Amino acid sequence: MSVKPDTDAHYYIVPRHSKLVLEVKDASTALDAPIRQNAAQANKPHQRFKFNPTRDGMYAIRCEASQHVFDVYGISKDDGAKVIQVSWHSGPNQQFRLLDAGEGCVFIEATHSGKFVAVKNGSSDGGAELVQRDKPGKADAHEYQFRLVLATRDVKPAALPTFKKPTDMLRDIGLGAIGLIPKAGGAFKFIAGAFWPDQSQQMFWDQMTYYVERYVDEKLTAKRLEDLGVALDGARKNLSDMSDMVPSAEKLGFFNSAYAAINQVDRAFFKADKAEKTLAYLIAMGTLKIGMLHEMTTAFATISDEADRNAASHRRWLSEAVAEYAAAARAYRQGIFDRRMAKVDQRARVDHSHHTSSYWIRVVDAHSGADYRRRLDIDTDQRTVDRVANDLVATAKRTAQALFDAELDALFAPTLLWNSYGAERPPAPRENIFVEAGAFGSDLEASRTLADRNAAIQGVRVYGGGALTGIAIKSNGVWQSVGSTAGTPSEIELKDKERIVSVYGTADHRLMSIRFETNFGRRAGAGDDISAPNWSADVPADLEPTLVGVKASARPGGVEGVTLTWRYERLGGYPALPAAKRRGAVKKAAAKKAAAKKSTTKKVAAKKVAKKPAAKKAVAKKVAAKKVAAKKTVAKKTPAKRAAARRSR
């Protein structure tokens, strides 16, 4: 599966086996300086790299400091050839493909040689140089595997994440909360350490934001993210301070302070005008808040060293938080899904420019770039044209929906566990999800099943070289094929723990090319990759999908079309919506509550209005009384003053 990095961003490239980072030796800007691994350092541009697209899914890997690119020395195709930096000159030895290696890692393939970049001799030492070698023959060849970590501001090298993606980290918090993985060091240490590794909260939020942006294709609101980070800092400090405290009233006080800080900021997540702009916050904050309430309901004594006298209230708070956040997650998911599906043509287009004796019916998916086509004879009756057009729209929508549903399962993975937080809540269910994508090429009216979902795929053969002529799939020890199997095929016999993780190619009104890739970085394929639109049937690598089904059809001269079925396991699910009977009651109760609140507000306002005249009258009486008293005083004093004046004369 080709991995697509953000071409505007810089990355740390982290060898999986060593946890060091790649760099240009000695921070050199000279030509021919070797690429090696070393300990990460903060704000060092010779350790940060950008992926500049070249062509056909290939990239030049450019150092931020020198602006030179990775280059296999001497255009060598030999094992052990060094990887150095030189200036860009469009050489084939300067172009690399990123292939999914599973578990959040990639293989870096040198496209001129078909070999893979690796740390020399599998060394874990700083200073070990980068070389190219043959394809790894086993899944645990970690010196071939690299994790791309976004080089964000204020990064602390010790905080370079080892999780596959931020939502996996949040999912791990959930798995810990519901007891499926242990929580080292205690519950709150686990939560605080996961959210803020090495006290670097910015690292987490930057990675989370970047990950969500890639899925929803929308920039998040930077100001809101910054405000959130500041507000949560208080919660972080309280959680950190309480981590090593013994159960006590003081520890409970720290907990309550952290929870109060979270409550002050989480309201903003439910007021966004666009769901995708606050999705990162919803997933993260929901996991943190519900996780804390989970600990409150299941382990109160480990916080306060006393029995929970408000256990019923705490359970109610947890249920309410789960319901509120889960409802928001469902709404966010639906909004993003609707936005995605709107990018698929709602009606087919007719293209008469192809040939004088025929024309194409086309449906375009503006999100993925997929271009679905069927070719019809020029004298085809209108009823058939309408049927083909409607079928093509349905195919495009069905494929887009199936693949994007899988993407959303990857994105929302942490939220699927929320309903299982708390001692009295149901365990997280496990479910096998099947995703059918296609048909790519023809509509498979006469298709043949080469592998079904009940049998493991053991091998793939693709025939034809520059023109795709046949496909064969091995399952249960038997090869099934369509098209011609003449000639030497491009072939993969799957090894232990190896599986097909990506299928892509080109198609117009029929299948022009197809490529199969495995999690070991091996490929089999054939056909014309240039003269027709690209298609991809990939399910997100985050889900660790397995190809389990292949259907294909062929006519003399080539393969017409293919449909592919993937399987992945989904853990958890959203809480069920209220039953239909209850929805009305819920609405009535809400309306009654709102009406009562409105009535109370009116009464209070009326009392205030009624009080105002009375208050004015009282003030007026007091003023009048003061005036009368003053006059009397003056009147008493005046005769006395006159008598005194007469005596003085």
Fold of 160-341: Delta-Endotoxin; domain 1 (1.20.190)
For 18, the 3-state DSSP assignment is coil
Task: Check for a shared fold between 10-150 and 349-571.
Answer: no
Domain boundaries along the sequence of the chain: 10-150, 160-341, 349-571
Look at phi and psi of residue 541 and say left if phi exceeds 0, alpha if psi is from -120 to 50, else beta: alpha
Closest alpha carbon to 82 in 129, 147, 135 = 129
What span, in angstroms and rounded, lies between the C-alpha atoms of 93 and 73?
8
* CATH top-level class of 349-571: mainly beta
Buried b (16+ CB within 10 A) or exposed e, 236-258: bbbbbbbbeeeeeeebbebbebb
Q: How confident is the model at residue 161 (pLDDT cuts 50, 70, 90)?
A: very low
- Cα Rg of the chain (Å, integer): 34
Q: How confident is the model at residue 343 (pLDDT cuts 50, 70, 90)?
A: confident
Sign of the Cα pseudo-torsion (407, 413, 415, 418, in order): positive
pLDDT of 551 reads 93
Residue 582 CA to residue 588 CA, distance in Å, equals: 10
pLDDT at 577 over 70: no
The domain defined by 10-150 carries CATH number 3.40.50.2000: no
Q: How far apart are CA 464 and CA 499, in angstroms?
A: 23
Q: Residue 4 — φ and ψ, nearest 5°? A: -115, 100
Chain segment 377-414, per-residue pLDDT in tens = 888 899 999 998 999 999 999 999 998 888 888 878 88
AA identity, residue 357: S
Residue 259 pLDDT > 70: yes
354: burial class by Cβ within 10 Å (0-12, 13-18, 19+)?
middle
Q: What single DSSP character describes residue 75?
A: G
Reply yes or no on whether the pLDDT at 487 is more than 50: yes
Token pair listed for 149: 């970590």
> 529-573: per-residue pLDDT in tens?
888 888 888 888 778 888 999 999 988 878 999 999 999 999 888
Q: Lowest mean pLDDT of 55-59, 199-203, 249-253, name the range.
A: 199-203
Q: What is the pLDDT of residue 241?
A: 76
Run of H or E including 587: helix 580-648
Encode burial over 175-191: b for 16+ CB neighbours within 10 A, e otherwise. bbbbeeeebeebbbbbb
Residue 25, both tokens:
């030796």
- With residues binned 3-state (H G I as helix, E B as strand, rest as coil), the percentages for the chain, rounded to 5, are 40, 25, 30
